Amino acid sequence: MSERLQKVLARAGLGSRRGLEDVIAQGRVRVNGELAVLGTKVTAEDRIEMDGVRLDTSNWASGERRVIVYHKPEGQVSTRSDPEGRPTIFDRLPAVRSGRWIAVGRLDIATSGLMLLTTDGELANKLMHPSSGVDREYLVRLHGQITPEIVKRLRDGVELDDGHARFTDIVPHPDDDPEKSNRWFYVALMEGRNREVRRLWESQGIEVNRLKRVRYGCIFLPSSLKQGGFVELSQRETDDLAALVALPSVPVPTMTPQALKDQARRLGKAVRKAPLRPERRDSEHAPRAPRSAVTRDRATETTATDWSSRPSRGGRSSVSPTPPAKPTRRGR
């Protein structure tokens, strides 16, 4: 089956469709030795070159889309390789039959939490682009005097070195104690500029001493997924994610029975070390997600994507398959 060249290049993670149309128009792409033009269609058998470099087309005709949730620990970098030899998130990922994993954004080395990776480059680019309006939510521990005026300024927006930035919402954790030197908040924003959460707080003289991403769009970090572990999204969750950026459903490969068992074991027996979130046993004190969170009732599902429970302000909530951990002094 043939597809438009810019769509194939976008799926491979080489850019957005519109940006790749400009690349084609500039004469930088050749198909089977001939200069490509807008409207050119290709198949997996065609030889495609961009800027003189041949591209691997082995996975473009598969018509499959895979997405995984990875729980990044502190100390790992989000790049595919690191000149300093530090561990990367790609060291622990499952193999793919063809193509490669493409990270949806990055987390800096000192930040932990949820990372999405996909084999669909177009999906990755759409989810990362600020125009798509896909929000990210973080749990942050802060040191400093946090006043209502500071919170208001960060909601309204401040000027950073690379332009105007703001949190779309700031919600105190239910266990946050204003009398303590360390404070806990959930924050959300619509873009992923370099160290943006840290820089926003630092602009107000507040130190960020722990940072963890807990949500990307409609996908939450599973409460029982240990650091360094991953789970693969089902067809339903993958379609929900694609719908956020107006992309159609694409088949998700069926997992083998053994893969399903391995995934259930990773979730069912995972125990987090040094939990970041100061949790409470009483479910009525579950932390609130920012108002833009998408939550759904998962009580009847037993797949790996039973996301952690956090009621939204709209009143609906998702249900976690495991009870919360006991409170820890270390978490506070």
Q: Cβ–Cβ contacts within 10 Å for residue 99, how many?
A: 21
Provide long-range contacts, Cβ within 8 A and 24+ apart, for 99-102.
99/12, 99/56, 99/58, 99/59, 99/60, 99/62, 100/13, 101/68, 102/13
Judge contact between 140 and 211, C-beta under 8 A: yes
- Cα separations (Å) of 82 from 89, 91, 109? 11, 11, 11
Q: Which residues are catalytic?
A: 108
Q: Cβ–Cβ contacts within 10 Å for residue 258, how many?
A: 8
Q: Please identify which residue in the block is written with the tokens 């996908």.
A: 219
219 burial via Cβ count (<10 Å: 0-12, 13-18, 19+): buried
Q: Which two tokens stand for residue 241?
A: 């994610």
